[in-house]
Amino acid sequence: MNVIIESLREKIASVSSFAAACEITVRELRRLVAQFDWVGIYMRQGEELVLTAWDGPEATVHVRIPVGQGICGLAARTGETVIVGDVNADPRYLACFPQTRSEIVVPIYAKDDVIGEIDIDSDKASAFTDDDRQLLERVATLLGDLAL
């Protein structure tokens, strides 16, 4: 985990914009963690989450998500990490890809405000562990610090 954090910290330190840091982050997370099949970063714009960067085999139709809707909207509303082991059994899930089986969404904070989130899908059921949660919460802190 520390290797991934340090690698990301080093790579995003050299970029000139927050958007570029998000692009590097999604690409590196997907490359470095086998069960991360689709990685996206949504940023909050008023009462909507807007897809800012993503990496995966295909684009999602959900480029704008109202705060409070779906797993992404839930994490933005509550400010807490949400892990869903079986998206097919969770009525809150907004289907993006038929092969997705599990999802983790981690809020990005700047000071005390949720400014965005990291959204990750996996094609494996119950793919996300507590180690994944801890890793992604640290990545979210890196991004939140950049946004200040």
Which tokens go with 129? 């562990």
Beta strands in the chain (DSSP E): 38-45, 48-55, 64-66, 82-84, 102-110, 113-122
> What is the spatial distance between Cα 136 and Cα 41, in angstroms, rounded to a whole number?
12
* Per-residue confidence band for 94, with pLDDT thresholds at 50, 70 and 90: confident
- CATH number, domain of 12, equals 3.30.450.40
**How does pLDDT run across 29-88, given as a tens digit for each residue?**
999 999 999 999 999 999 999 999 999 999 999 999 999 999 999 999 999 999 999 999
Dihedral angle, C-alpha 30, 123, 49, 113, nearest 10 °: -70
pTM for this entry: 0.96
Domain count, the chain: 1
Residue 148 has pLDDT above 80, yes or no: no
Which tokens go with 110? 């700047």
Which tokens go with 71? 């797993």
Confidence (pLDDT) at 106: 98
**How does pLDDT run across 99-128, given as a tens digit for each residue?**
999 999 999 999 999 999 999 999 999 999
Average pLDDT rounded to a whole number, residues 3-21? 93
Question: What range defines the domain where residue 124 resides?
Answer: 2-147
